[in-house]
């Protein structure tokens, strides 16, 4: 599929993985998208891909239960991770997801970083901090993106961002604020974080 973005020229869905033994062979670059259930991971991927139809978006939380691999420009993987924190999921299911996600994050040596998506209305909570701290403990770069900016006024966005930033540890790149719905902020995030990796393998 052709896309509109400057550095994402081609996207192909490759596979949904439910078990670590089914992970595809590594490519030079892999970037994962993580966050609470319903925060808009799949929607952000669609915004990045320049289409609404590519990744399934949930009408109910807890929709994405597998690791979904997308092949970008035939040489990198973007991975849509299952959302955490869905209170209604059975304990066994939560434990299985956790093992799958943690195993995945530890195992992928070509993982360049994880896009950690949070809701700008809610800021960061204990589970979100747990994700950031876990990534830092295994030396994987977290990139923080606050989504659903279309739901708040600019003043409220500024206040929430300030409050959330105080809670977060020092990050390699300051947080981004985007709306997967209106696409506001998405191209800036792409150009500053994602495109450099894709351009690196191009050259």
Ligand X SMILES: Nc1nc2c(ncn2[C@@H]2O[C@H](COP(=O)(O)OP(=O)(O)OP(=O)(O)O)[C@@H](O)[C@H]2O)c(=O)[nH]1
Burial of 79 (0-12, 13-18, 19+ CB in 10 A): buried
CB of 76 to ligand X, least distance (A): 20
Of the residues 17, 20, 27, 57, which one makes contact with ligand X according to CB under 6 A: 57
CA separation for the pair 164, 90 (Å, rounded): 29
- 5 makes contact, choosing from Mg ion, ligand X, none, with CB < 5 to 8 Å by partner type, with none
Give the closest residue to 22 by CA, choosing from 67, 64, 65: 67
Distances (CA, A) of 168 to 37, 88, 161, 165, 185: 20, 27, 10, 5, 20
Nearer to ligand X, 180 or 193 (CB): 180
Number of other CB atoms surrounding residue 17 within 10 Å: 17
Tokens found for residue 34: 């993580």
Of the residues 30, 76, 83, 89, which one makes contact with ligand X according to CB under 6 A: 83
CA separation for the pair 150, 147 (Å, rounded): 8
Please, which residues have CB within 8 angstroms of residue 70's CB and are 6 or more apart in sequence? 11, 12, 13, 14, 45, 49, 54, 55, 77, 78, 79, 80
Nearer to Mg ion, 3 or 65 (CB): 65
Of the residues 5, 38, 42, 46, which one makes contact with Mg ion according to CB under 5 A: 42
Does 148 interact with ligand X (rule: CB under 6 A)? yes
Nearer to ligand X, 39 or 131 (CB): 39
Does 68 interact with Mg ion (rule: CB under 5 A)? no
Nearer to ligand X, 42 or 110 (CB): 42
Of the residues 5, 38, 46, 64, which one makes contact with Mg ion according to CB under 5 A: 64
- 40 makes contact, choosing from Mg ion, ligand X, none, with CB < 5 to 8 Å by partner type, with ligand X
**Contact residues: Mg ion, CB under 5 A:** 41-42, 64
Residues that bind ligand X (CB under 6 A): 35, 37-43, 57-58, 61-64, 83, 147-148, 150-151, 179-181
């Amino acid at each position: 599929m052709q896309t509109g973005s400057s550095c994402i020229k081609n996207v192909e869905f490759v596979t949904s993985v439910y078990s670590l033994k089914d992970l595809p062979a590594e490519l030079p670059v892999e970037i994962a998208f993580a966050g609470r259930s319903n925060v808009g991971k799949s929607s952000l991927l669609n915004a990045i891909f320049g289409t609404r139809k590519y990744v399934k978006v949930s009408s109910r939380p807890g929709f994405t239960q597998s690791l979904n691999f997308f092949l970008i420009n035939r040489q990198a993987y973007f991975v849509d991770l299952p959302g955490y924190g869905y209170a209604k999921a059975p304990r066994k299911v939560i434990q299985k997801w956790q093992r799958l996600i943690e195993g995945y994050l530890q195992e992928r040596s070509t993982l360049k970083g994880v896009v950690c998506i949070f809701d700008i209305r809610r800021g960061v909570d204990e589970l979100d901090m747990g994700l950031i701290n876990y990534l830092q403990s295994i030396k994987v770069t977290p990139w923080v993106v606050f989504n659903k900016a279309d739901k708040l006024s600019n003043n409220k966005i500024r206040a929430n961002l300030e409050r959330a930033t105080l809670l977060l540890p020092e990050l390699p790149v300051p947080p981004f604020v985007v709306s997967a719905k209106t696409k506001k902020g998405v191209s800036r995030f792409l150009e500053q974080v994602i495109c450099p990796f894709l351009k690196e393998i191009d050259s």
